[in-house]
Amino acid sequence: MTALDARTDTTTVLRFPEGFRWGTATAAYQIEGAAAEDGRTPSIWDTFSRTPGKVRNGDTGDIAADHYHRVDEDVALMRRLGVTDYRFSIAWPRVQPTGRGPAVRKGLDFYRRLADRLLEAGIRPVATLYHWDLPQELEDAGGWPHRETAYRFAEYAGIMADALGDRVATWTTLNEPWCAAFLGYGSGEHAPGHTSALGSLRAAHHLNLAHGLAARTLRGALPGAAEVSLTLNLHAVRALSQAPEDVDAARRIDAVANRIFLDPVFHGRLPEDLVRDTAPVTDWSFVRDGDLATAAAPLDFLGINYYSPSVVAAGASEAPSAWAGAEQHVRFEPAPGPRTAMDWPVDANGLHELLVRLRDELPGVPLVITENGAAYDDYADPSGNVKDPERVAYLHGHLAAVHRALADGADVRGYFLWSLLDNFEWAYGYSKRFGIVHVDFATQRRTLKDSARWYAEVIARGGLTETP
């Protein structure tokens, strides 16, 4: 497809703007392995995955996709695909093992080498500082419900800016603070596995504070042209019906899943209805003067991770829940339509809805889809092919939704496909495959799935054909 001539190509009907960023995304704990090498210490995910019953099949990230030892091969794969950008995360316990004090050179060298290989391949490195692997020592000291963790994070941000600022120009502070706060400290489905409504709200606030402190540190330490961002997994929430109770259930989830981050980060305030809804849990006195202004540091773009929409109605959810203050009022309903191997509904309209909402609510803030993709039960057939037509259809549908949002005036600058490689899918272990590159975890052999070839064509064409 590299021979494709844009002037004569009439089959590309949905063309993306010049300069649109076409990427893939991964996260450190999900692919790196080398869990105890070169000075890395355990993160909360090492501890959690070793706790019986927390991760399917007792899987851990000890080896994962062995990316730590296969950086060259993995960058070569991306070069073959023609991606313009690669979003990876930095493992905090690899570069600052106790979450305090000086950095470990070997850890920094690993990321320097990754960035150099990417630049040599003509791929822009996009670094995320926190994709959920908090150093265990910081969790032992109180974790995200504890204010001090925010200051530790800002210090770590400064270390990384100094180490990589000469080669990495695009930075994201946090990936999906909602998951870190509410799955980590509310429902307990993610590390560190705590179940406290108060803990989850405190964590959310300290993550907002950490983001703001780190954004300021990054700005101070990076060259002026560097980009600073945050990635949220905004929930596309729909009420089951227009009955006022169902509409109010949707409002509650919007408050505790979306506006709890959007309002502090973009407006320097807490949503009033959230404070009301959560009054039985907390009076928010852990928010100190100036915190919300700190959280509202100016950003170059907002990253959005989207997989599927949620449908809610008036009712009650099971405790412990990820919905502090809302669990007595809201129940989740299965959304209609086809599903992925995660049992997540496939509905690209949710992505369009979110982008159009952000167009209206955050004028002037560029948007980047920092994750989108799907898990299916892929396997390599005897001739070594991995056919994944459902993933191709999912990706085509979601990219078409992004295109529609662009046409409707949303300022979307890029799309990062989750994920480059099959990997450790958190509480699901290796049972769920999100990669466009198949990984045989016994041999670490990488095989391009059909979706990888398809994505390479989309990038080369700069857009989509009518059907996948």
CB 306 within 8 A of CB 234: yes
User: Considering the complex, what minimum distance in angstroms separates the CB of residue 8 from ligand FCB?
Assistant: 38
User: Considering the complex, what minimum distance in angstroms separates the CB of residue 452 from ligand FCB?
Assistant: 17
User: Considering the complex, what minimum distance in angstroms separates the CB of residue 25 from ligand FCB?
Assistant: 8
Between the CA of residue 63 and those of 109, 198, 424, what are the distances in Å? 19, 35, 10
Q: Which of 176, 227, 327, 425 is catalytic?
A: 176
- Rounded to whole angstroms, the Cα distance separating 206 from 177 reads 10
- Site residues, ligand FCB (CB under 6 A): 27, 30, 175-176, 179, 233, 305, 371, 418, 425-426, 434
Which contiguous run of DSSP H or E holds residue 353? helix 349-361
Give the DSSP per-residue string, 282-319. Answer: ---TTPPTTHHHHHT---SEEEEE----EEEEES-PPS
User: Considering the complex, what minimum distance in angstroms separates the CB of residue 81 from ligand FCB?
Assistant: 19
CB 254 within 8 A of CB 326: no
The question of whether 245 is a catalytic residue gets the answer: no
Q: Which of 32, 353, 371, 390 is catalytic?
A: 371
- Is residue 448 helix, strand or coil? strand
CA R_g for the chain: 21
Q: For ligand FCB, give the closer residue by CB, 179 or 412.
A: 179
Q: For ligand FCB, give the closer residue by CB, 5 or 343.
A: 343
User: Considering the complex, what minimum distance in angstroms separates the CB of residue 418 from ligand FCB?
Assistant: 5
The residues, ordered by sequence, that sit 6+ positions from 32 with a Cβ below 8 Å of its Cβ are 61, 64, 65, 66, 67, 68, 91, 94
User: Considering the complex, what minimum distance in angstroms separates the CB of residue 433 from ligand FCB?
Assistant: 11
The question of whether 73 is a catalytic residue gets the answer: no
Q: For ligand FCB, give the closer residue by CB, 12 or 231.
A: 231
- Rounded to whole angstroms, the Cα distance separating 190 from 54 reads 8
CB atoms within 10 A of CB 455: 24
| Look-up of token digits 């980060």 | 265
Tokens of 211: 């983001």
Q: For ligand FCB, give the closer residue by CB, 12 or 340.
A: 340
**Cα 410 to the chain's mean position, in Å?**
20
End-to-end CA distance of the chain: 15
Q: For ligand FCB, give the closer residue by CB, 14 or 421.
A: 421
Q: Where in the sequence numbering do the catalytic residues fall? A: 176, 371
